[in-house]
Amino acid sequence: MAVAQDHATPEGRSSSPFWTIARRDSLAGFLFIAPQLIGIITFVLIPLGLVFWYSLHEWNVLANTFTYTGAQNYQMLMEDTNLLEVLGATAIFSAGLVVLNMSLALLLAVLLNQKLAGITIFRTLFFSPVVVSLVAWTIVWGFLLQKNGGINGVLLLVGIEGPNWLREETTAMISVIVVQVFKNVGLNMILFLAALQGVPNELYEAARIDGAPRFKQFRRITLPLISPTILLTSIITIVGSLQVFAQIAVLTQGGPGMSTTVLVYYLYQQAFQFHLFGYGSTLSIVLFVIVAVLTFAQWQMRKRIVFYES
């Protein structure tokens, strides 16, 4: 109130001042969020709007033509014979990645949540791939996965003739998933580790006194109490899995056949290799809708799977 009174006119006019406390507060609030808001508007909302606008056009970069075609690109989407295969590869990749990444991350977190000498060395080791350059990591794995590469060399030492990892449909998809899991499992592991360390010890003590076995303690105490972190990591991992690009570009270029052509790689091909920027934008809209629906669905599911929220 004092601030408002300072702005009262000397003549004592009864009209209320423009800068009321509420207005000042909201201005301060807007100023605080302005950097983030400007960033989101510039780098998310405007490009999103533009992508939708482009999806309604045929944009021939070489001929420098930009023609409004209405829903033609969306019709092309419906008639695209490759799309089902691409969506299938995307689903297999995402499902494989999420299941493997989450379970491995949880397993590692549980194993590393011990008070043992030197345990931090192991935590650092498992986390270190997260900070390695993604492309460098993938290129090295590309060499290891060659037919005459390091992995088959090791297998040969124990008398096994390894497959041609990146040239067969099943093993190519498995390879791409595993390379991605090893790269990022450390991040989820650290999040799980933090959550595990937040579980009060008394609960385990009480359970032990009641005679609950270790697995039951894990299922009844640990899992419910770390469920918010499970939700968070699952959203991050699923969204991340839908955005995979560099690994595919470096390791398989979408092959063999179309077996590892996931949606992001497919839209990159359409826009940047085939110069079909309009159709590429249409595929971006599809990706946006898929990510939005999945995130919304997971958020809705939190009532069922998250047992408490702070």
Does 277 interact with another protein (rule: CB under 8 A)?
yes
Q: Which of 69, 72, 113, 146 binds another protein (CB under 8 A)?
A: 146
Q: Which of 69, 221, 256, 298 binds another protein (CB under 8 A)?
A: 256
Q: Phi first, then psi: give them for residue 269, nearest 5 degrees.
A: -60, -50
- Residue 68's DSSP bridge partners are 57
- Collect all residues with Cβ–Cβ distance below 8 Å to 264 and sequence separation of at least 6: 242, 243, 244, 245, 248, 287
Does 310 interact with another protein (rule: CB under 8 A)?
no
Q: How far is CA 141 from the centre of its chain?
A: 21
Q: Which of 15, 201, 273, 310 binds another protein (CB under 8 A)?
A: 273
Q: How far is CA 246 from the centre of its chain?
A: 14
Q: How far is the CB of 38 from another protein (least distance, A)?
A: 22
Interhelix angle 227-242/169-197, rounded to 10 degrees, is 150
Nearer to another protein, 162 or 240 (CB): 162
The piece of 34-42, 69-77, 273-281, 292-300 that touches another protein (CB under 8 A) is 273-281
Q: Which residue pairs from 60-65 have beta carbons closer than 8 angstroms and sit at least 24 positions apart in sequence?
A: 60/275, 61/275, 61/277, 62/275
Q: Which of 88, 113, 130, 167 binds another protein (CB under 8 A)?
A: 167
x-marked contacts with another protein along 197-236 as a string, rule CB under 8 A = ----------------------------------------
Cβ–Cβ < 8 Å for 184, 101: yes
- Residue 57's DSSP bridge partners are 68
Q: Which of 164, 178, 223, 240 binds another protein (CB under 8 A)?
A: 164
Does 88 interact with another protein (rule: CB under 8 A)?
no
Contact residues toward another protein (CB under 8 A) are: 59-64, 145-149, 164-167, 253-258, 269, 272-275, 277
